[in-house]
A and B are shown apart, each in its own frame.
Chain A
Amino acid sequence: MLSIENLQASVEDKAILKGLNLSVGAGEVHAIMGPNGAGKSTLSNVMGGRPGYEATGGSVTLGGVDLLELEPEERAYAGLFLAFQYPVELPGVSNMEFLKTAVEANCEHRGIEAPNTAAFLKAAREACAQVNLSPDFLKRGVNEGFSGGERKRNEILQMIMLQPKLCVLDETDSGLDIDALQVVADGVNSLRGADRSFVVITHYQRLLDYIVPDFVHVLSDGKIIKSGGSELALELEKNGYGWIEQEVA
């Protein structure tokens, strides 16, 4: 599904990712943990093609498609979805309009028929219910005046509507109370399936009690320095990152 090979990337001419390798099979959930500043958000931004984040070497392919060559919207058509750490506000652009335009563009490029208005509305309302947002949020400006937790739930709402192949969640759990965390985890778990994969970036083991990963990776100084099963997350929670960094050094 996803294959990242020797990825190097820089921000403002400063090297941040320094040869990162990661391979995610169909249906798998991978967790990426690591200290602040390790490059976790940079990884998701480079995958998404955010302006200012430049891949200087290596490759990222999704379902055989080289993502790094594509415009951001084309990466979405290839099946990529990023749930952002800090989703921005789009004042005056209604959530409904935003979702509808995106769903229609994705359908068109993936060669599937777009839902008609009634079907779209129904799906949007159901998705709202699933992430525990009132349908009124569809009429509001995207993230406009939303609380931190509401923004994160709105990210999951979009993820449900867009049916991506690969979901990358960048610290979607940070700052969430336990109820909101449960909602986010339920959203992710409901989408789990044989042909959909997840990369869950997190700081805290807590989320992984709800979304149980198949693999856990430690990202430090721009590289994956250790990989293991879900038990690795517990070990990190208990002992921090220092011991691995030493082990590797």
Chain B
Amino acid sequence: MHDAFKSQVLNAASSAADAPWMPTGRDQASKDFTALALPDRKTEGWKYNDLSKLYGSELSLAGDSDLEAASGLLADLSAIDVPVLALVDGRFCSALSRMPAGVSAVAFSQASAEQQASITQAIGTQARSDGHAFALLNEALSEDGIWIDVDSGVNVERTVHVVSLRTVAGSAAPRLLLRVGDNASLSFAEHHRSVAGLAAFDLPVTELQIGANSSVHHYRFALGEEGNRHVGRVAARQSADSRYYAYLAVLGGDFNRLDFGLDLQGQNCESELYGLYMCRAQEHTDIHLAVDHALPHCNSKEVFRGIAAEHGKAVFNGRIHIHQDAQKTNAELSNRNLLLSRTAEINTKPELEIYADDVKCAHGATVGQLDAEALFYLRSRGTPVEAAQSLLSYGFINEVLLAMPDEATAGLVKPRVDAFFDGLQGA
């Protein structure tokens, strides 16, 4: 199965060869990818994933896009009139984009020679280094990407939205590359969306470099549909005195895997990662988080909430690695999970690796059901049982939604959260 998959990748990569300028060295990436041993169930970190869902079905690049469908997927963003950079089936679409002001943002395919040089310098510095198979696959298959470059001293206050839309079957491998200079700030959101019932395979990679004393808010909403598979990678790196806040949501889609890596490469950093994942029907979601504390005096906090209903299945793995030099680290990981049916399944595994002796590190992981006392309390006030379950479940994840400072952006995920509860098949 692995060999068949690899030869499909090589074919797809060669068909992507005519695509506009790409900085990643497609040929090298496909060679490196095919030389890799692909993860399987015996590979650490992949044992809960049914990889036949990834390797078993056809892989070819998405063909011509349906722009009308793409425009339909942007209705809520159009309504709030925010800057949008749109990638449709992995390729930049200027007709659907509204370029942000006050920040350099450009598609790889439209980059000037000078911008190309910056992109080439920045790309792959984080995501490639760890031999992550699917990040390599992104490089082999990527047809376009977005480059956002915030100069030192610049504050981008309005959230910039990068939207990856899927309108036709096949694979797409969009790339998002961001560099924030020193003493700067940025709020950006990446959205992954698809039309319903599409056999779309998404392989997005985001790389983010945050300069000294800068602040970044990063929203990442993967709102999949039936038929979708999504294997994403985020690699973020912080310099000294920087602040990074990430808000992740994964809902829908047949198969979701997200590898999120954060590298604290400066002293005195602050990081807060909030995430929610919700699976129903036969959906599968796996979130792998890795936070590396390399230097002293950094604080990181991770708050993840998961819900599985019906036959949904979720995996959370949160690894906090505190290196020997990272004295006076303060790290706090909380992962709580809610099972709404007996057939749902959630596995959680916090992993703390601590090699420094003067650190504060707390973690808690739970998997449970709705509190019977709380349910009765609501019902005794006249709230019907289904509504009571929804209210409590919503309350369970609300902490993550409330953490998002940009309410308009948070509002883009809430309808999907509501829809999750509508018509759930009960216990």
Contact = CB atoms under 8 A, between A and B. Distances in A.
Given A92-B394, A98-B391, A51 B376 contact: yes
B377 A106 contact: no
B395 A93 contact: yes
Interface in A74-115: 75-77, 81-82, 84, 87-93, 97-98, 101-102, 105-106, 109
B382 A77 contact: yes
Given A51-B372, A88-B377, A90-B374, A71 B395 contact: no
Interface of A: 48-51, 71-73, 75-77, 81-82, 84, 87-93, 97-98, 101-102, 105-106, 109, 141, 158, 162
B362 interface: no
Contact of A106 (B374, B382, B387, B396): B382
B399 to A, nearest CB: 6
Interface of chain B, main secondary structure: helix
B383 A102 contact: yes
A158 B394 CA distance: 21
B383 A92 contact: no
Contact of A48 (B380, B383, B395): B380
Given A92-B397, A93-B395, A98-B391, A71 B379 contact: yes
B304 to A, nearest CB: 15
3 tightest CB-CB pairs across the interface, nearest first? A92-B395, A76-B382, A92-B398
A90 B378 contact: yes
Given A93-B394, A93-B395, A97-B391, A50 B376 contact: yes
Interface of B: 371-374, 376-385, 387, 391-392, 394-399, 402
Which of A50, A75, A87 has most chain B Cβ within 10 Å? A50
Which of A49, A92, A102 has most chain B Cβ within 10 Å? A92
A76 B381 contact: yes
Nearest to A105: B382
A93 B387 contact: no
A141 B374 CA distance: 12
Contacts of A49: 380
Contacts of B380: 48-50, 72-73, 75-76, 82
B303 to A, nearest CB: 12
A72 B380 CA distance: 5
